[in-house]
Amino acid sequence: MIQSVIDLLNNPELSREDIIRLLSITERTEHEQLIKHAYYIKEQTIGRNVYLRGLIEFSNYCKKNCLYCGIRCGNTKVNRYTMTDDEILETVEFAVENRFTGIVLQSGEQQSDEFTERITNLITKIKQATHPEFRFTLSLGEQSFETYKAWFDAGAQRYLLRIETSNEELYRKIHPDNKLHDFKTRLRCLEDILKVGFQTGTGVMIGLPFQTIENLAEDLLFLKKMNIDMVGMGPYLEHADTPLYEHKNSLMPLNDRFNLSLRMIAVLRILMPNINIASTTALQSIVPMGREYGLKAGANVLMPNLTPGKYRGNYLLYDNKPCIDEEADDCIDCLSNRVQMIGEEIAYDNFGDSKHYKKRQRSN
């Protein structure tokens, strides 16, 4: 006999089969029951606080050639750019003036002594321009243990490295078959980030070609097993200038990808009540209030884009990315109003560290 969603949600622990059942929901009432339960758990553990991270996409140069990504090195149609240190510092100054307590520095993947040194020096400069407790999230791809350690010692506290999928066979289908795109290297980097001491974040894409509900259930169990502190995951959105685009007709409809992403957020909140979960921009690409729906499903972090407007249109990981024609001021004003509309509150002046991380550190 198939258990009702209400009965499942009263179980003390969700099994793999339970998770598959919840992710496979098609009935609207059951979907809403799951979302409501996850939001209740968020209220009990995190409150109605929304933590902001100012996203700075400072370079779209990338040595990787991932088959799903619009800024892959093989895409010759991209106008490449790198922000100067002064431009980054000006953006950080804007973040501080608007009461952000931290930023996300993100770029395409680069690996060199010069890049490591630049980021190390940049962290120092930003610390001097802000204050010692200002929070850094780095999203700079696969690096050596020594590089991660250098950036942590310089003062970065968080690192985000998306696994994209925890299934090795699927990972190979969405990446070129060479040493530069190796699943085991990705795993090793995540483990190194944890060992160094970062608040560690990762995430997956939802609705990929070749992906099954079972894959996604295993992704959620992978996040729990890895003891991750932060997660950013959202619907897979195709880009016309990528090899994976040829499978666009086999994808589930956008609205189904959107609702499945909400259920992924909800189930993850149930599995890991005290982690930080981002409501991603990809949700907003499908539904105008998509990020707000993500918050109501259990997410508690937003990452408004602070990248200067002249660069935004060149950092397109997928087509139809929202807000690329706006300046940061427009995004901030809009976001604050939208968060209030759903009964949430932006936790200005709060660093928003992962409660899971704090607990993990105490137990080490």
Positions of E strands within 196-270? 199-202, 205-206, 230-232, 234-235
Tell me the C-alpha distance between 303 and 321, whole Å. 14
> What's the predicted TM-score (pTM) here?
0.96
For 41, the token pair is 């758990």
**Residue 80 structure tokens:** 């490449």
E strand or H helix at 257: helix 254-271
**What is the structure's pLDDT at 261?**
98
pLDDT tens across 264-274, in order? 999 999 999 99
Q: What is the CATH number of domain 9-363?
A: 3.20.20.70
User: Which residue is listed with tokens 């086999």?
Assistant: 250
In tens, the pLDDT along 177-218 reads: 999 999 999 999 999 999 999 999 999 999 999 999 999 999
Backbone φ and ψ of 160, nearest 5°: -115, 120
* Segments in the chain below pLDDT 50: none
Strands (E), 90-219: 102-107, 135-139, 158-160, 199-202, 205-206
Strands 158-160 and 102-107 turn out to be unpaired
Nearest to 50 by CA among 331, 359, 336, 287: 336
**And the tokens for 281?**
């921009």
Closest CA to 14 of 217, 215, 167: 217
In this prediction, residue 61 carries a pLDDT of 98
Burial of 72 (0-12, 13-18, 19+ CB in 10 A): buried
- The confidence score (pLDDT) of residue 337 equals 84
User: Are the beta carbons of 263 and 31 closer than 8 angstroms?
Assistant: yes
Token readout for 117 is 């040194």
Q: Distance between CA atoms of 269 and 261, rounded to whole angstroms?
A: 12
